[in-house]
Amino acid sequence: MNENTFYNELEKLNIYLTDIQKKQFKDYYIYLNEYNSHTNITTITELENVYLKHFYDSILLSKTIDFNAIKTMLDIGCGAGFPGLVLKIVYPHLNLTLLDSNNKKTTFCKCVVNKLNLNNVTIINKRAEDYIKEKREYFDLVTARAVKDLTILSELAIPYVKENNYFIAMKSDYKEELNKSINGINILGGKYLETKNINLPNNEGIRNFIIIKKISKTNQKYPRQYNQILKKPL
């Protein structure tokens, strides 16, 4: 997917980028490659793959929920900024928090934010079970892209979500994980609503979005310490 194809495919989703946004994506791609030459951030570096598998793939999340109604968003395990920073470019109104325990990735994200002149982005280099003390039940939307098994991820993510708002996990394979996670999701105050399956262009695969609504407050004892979650998922 080259740049023009990227714009055209977004228009099919009723997303029309300004010239500033197009430049931000181009600069993001250039800087990703420059940074990756000395610090390993991603294995995907070819232009066509970055625009498809990082940029376009991230934006598909916006087809699962009305982003105009989202004010605060948390991206857990943000990596190189996918999907968080990509969605911030498309939806500048977002008050975005990026969370990752990997210092080199949060350092990269800070550099991207500065280079692209993005406002209202908070970048946190902490573990999810530690940062919860500061932002429990704070966010309209919490997401994670290809992060951990859902039995583990649900306990890390759902406590951050405001009541009547959403946790959406981005997954490739998901059915077995989801079946094992339903009980834990309910314990944490969530309710599984549906999984939306969206095709990438040119038969490049399917992206699955597991949509969970927060229907009641999460007990303060969750999330537990990470080794406890691993040892005995809910």
**What number of H helices and E strands is found in the chain?**
10, 7
Q: Distance between CA 188 and CA 190 in Å, rounded?
A: 6
From the list 41, 69, 56, 75, the residue with the least C-alpha distance to 10 is 56
First-to-last alpha carbon distance for the chain, in angstroms, is: 40
- What is the distance between the alpha carbons of residues 19 and 31, in angstroms, rounded to a whole number? 18
What pLDDT is recorded for position 48? 92
DSSP 8-class letter at 201: G
DSSP state, residue 125? -
* 162 in Cβ contact with 139 (< 8 Å): yes
pLDDT at 173: 79
| 108 touches 35 (CB < 8 A) | yes
Q: Identify the CA nearest to 209 among candidates 223, 195, 199, 229.
A: 195
Would you report the helix, strand and coil content of the chain in percent, each value rounded to 5?
Answer: 45, 20, 30
Which domains are present in the chain? Answer: 67-231 (3.40.50.150)
* SS3 call for 159: helix
pLDDT at residue number 202: 79
Residue 203 has a pLDDT of 78
Rounded Cα distance, 27 and 168, in Å: 28
**Average pLDDT rounded to a whole number, residues 50-56:** 95
- Is 14 buried (19+), middle (13-18) or exposed (0-12) by CB count in 10 A? exposed
Number of residues that this document lists for the chain: 234
Radius of gyration of the chain (CA): 17
Sheet strands side by side (includes 206-214) = 121-124, 95-99, 72-76, 139-145, 161-171, 206-214, 190-199
- The answer to whether residues 58 and 96 touch, using CB atoms and an 8 Å cutoff, is no
The SS3 of residue 101 is: coil
Query: Quick one: pLDDT at residue 205?
Result: 83
136-155 per-position pLDDT tens digit: 999 999 999 978 899 999 99
For residues 165-186, average pLDDT = 93
- Is pLDDT at 174 greater than 90 in this prediction? no
Give the residue-averaged pLDDT of 207-220: 97
In this prediction, residue 214 carries a pLDDT of 98
pLDDT value at residue 29: 96
Mean pLDDT of 102-107: 96
Q: Which amino acid is at 27?
A: D
Count of C-beta atoms within a 10 Å radius of residue 126? 14
Indicate if the pLDDT at residue 8 is higher than 90.
yes
Of 77 and 44, the one with more pLDDT:
77
